[in-house]
Copies of this chain bind each other. A is one copy, B any other.
Amino acid sequence: MFTLLKTAERGKARLGRLETDHGTIQTPIFMPVGTVGSVKAVKQEELKDRIKAQIILGNTYHLYLRPGLDILSDAGGLHSFINWDRPILTDSGGYQIFSLSDIRDLEEKGARFKSHLDGSEHWFTPENVVETQRIFGSDIVMMLDECPPHPASYDYVKESMELTHRWAKRGREAFLNSEPRYGHRQFQFGIVQGGTFDELRNESARFMSELDTEGIAIGGLSVGEPTELMYEMTNLNTDLLPAEKPRYLMGVGTPANLLQSVARGVAMFDCVMPTRNARNGMLFTRNGTINIRNAKWKHHHQPLDEAFPSELCQVYNMSYIHHLFKCNEILGLELASLHNLTFYLWLMEVVRERIQNNTFDGWYEEMSKQVDVRI
């Protein structure tokens, strides 16, 4: 369960601790994304020992389709299947059925969709996504929601939010009326929606607060709206959400997004950016982002940042990393993915130290600018 350890003297940044049966998560925290049960190009051992990931995320939509519930049930759950003994959060599948699959039917009952893999038809309901995540054995179970696109009309967003709220009630009930399968506790998080309409955001935050789940996610952001609007909506939500619960801003974001959102009271983040951008040759550093393929690195026979504790920085020179990307070598993808995730987790560690030492407020604005530079 969550313990709020400290709130920054000025502003809303918070230090917390979320205890699960797979270990304690120090917040603010970033969760690497392991869509189908693998954080892309990274080994479980590296996730633990090098990246120092405290929790990873899996996608219900993908895992439900592959390997499927029979395999995951036979394996004794997702932790055992992928050999990961720290916490796992799984989303509800809602986001992916709207973005990846072919939705056939969206109704009170739930959503009927066609798999993007083989066209087979399936239903996700507020109840069966709970059951599915019971089979996964996820430490944190997310509720089924509808995530409207941006922009969308007030009426559309209001109706969608109300459906999400009715689903949430059913999902909470299904959760409270079912049991974990593998002997460890599971928590459930509701998801605030409401698009970019203040009134709806507030209504949704109040609704989710009353539902009394173990944590609350801020959903429906980072879907194309301007960054400032994302911060504004996050701020509105964290003003209303209960202090004693962790807040998880879904699908966010850049290092600067993380810093700005921590300052607005967010505890948890996930995003494919560090791994996806790594595979495209983009590296994050404390001085900004770089493109490995840029010719300037060809003759750079020094590390990217010799003081930074990633394998890419500690073991190799940039001329070699540049060469690996030019030759499309898999090793380049491995080292870059490992580096970016190490950076994200390092940044969260610095954030936690600074909140602890009361030096976060004087630092994060400057640091947000610094990490956003293209060098």
A83 touches B37 (CB 8 A): no
| A71-B319, A74-B299, A81-B320 known; A334 vs B37 contact (CB < 8 Å) | no
Residue A82 is within 8 A (CB to CB) of chain B in the complex: yes
> Considering the chains assembled together, what is the distance between the CA atoms of A41 and B335 in angstroms?
10
Whole-angstrom distance between the alpha carbons of A141 and B315 in the complex? Answer: 26
B320 touches A66 (CB 8 A): no
Q: Are A299 and B334 in contact (CB-based, < 8 A)? A: no
A327 → chain B, closest Cβ, in Å?
5
- How far is A340 from B54 in the complex, measured between Cα atoms in Å? 31
Q: How far is the CA of A273 from the CA of B312 in the complex (A)?
A: 27
A335 to chain B, nearest CB (A): 8
Does A333 touch B at the CB level, under 8 Å? yes
Contact of A41 among B37, B45, B315, B334 (CB under 8 A): B334
Q: In the complex, which residues of chain B have a beta carbon less than 8 angstroms from the beta carbon of A333?
A: 330
From 131 to 180 in chain A, residues with beta carbon under 8 angstroms from any chain B beta carbon are none
Interface residues on A, range: 35 or more
* B38 A329 Cβ-Cβ under 8 A: yes
Q: How far is the CA of A71 from the CA of B323 in the complex (A)?
A: 10
A44 on the interface (CB 8 Å rule)?
Answer: yes
In the complex, whether A42 has a CB less than 8 A from a CB of chain B is yes
Contacts of A335 in B (CB 8 A): 43
**A103 interface residue per 8 A CB criterion:** no
Neighbour of A83 across the interface among B42, B44, B315, B334, CB < 8 A: B315
Please pick, from B45, B81, B301, B326, the residue contacting A319 in the complex, using a CB distance under 8 A: B81
Contact of A330 among B66, B71, B315, B334 (CB under 8 A): B334
- How many chain copies does the complex carry? 2
Assess whether A66 is in contact with B299, with CB atoms less than 8 Å apart.
no
By the criterion CB–CB under 8 Å, are B323 and A66 in contact?
Answer: yes
A332 to B66, CA, bound (A): 15
Which residues from chain B contact A24 at a C-beta distance below 8 Å? none
User: Judging by beta carbons under 8 Å apart, are B42 and A331 in contact?
Assistant: yes
Whether a CB of chain B sits under 8 angstroms from the CB of A317 is yes
B320 and A43 contacting across the interface, CB-CB below 8 Å: no
Pair A324/B74 contact, Cβ less than 8 Å? no
Complex CA distance for A356 and B317, rounded to whole angstroms: 41
With contacts A43-B331, A75-B319 known, what are 20 further pairs, Cβ within 8 A? A37-B320, A37-B323, A38-B324, A38-B329, A40-B330, A40-B331, A45-B315, A66-B326, A66-B327, A71-B323, A74-B319, A75-B301, A75-B320, A81-B317, A81-B319, A81-B323, A83-B316, A83-B317, A83-B320, A334-B334
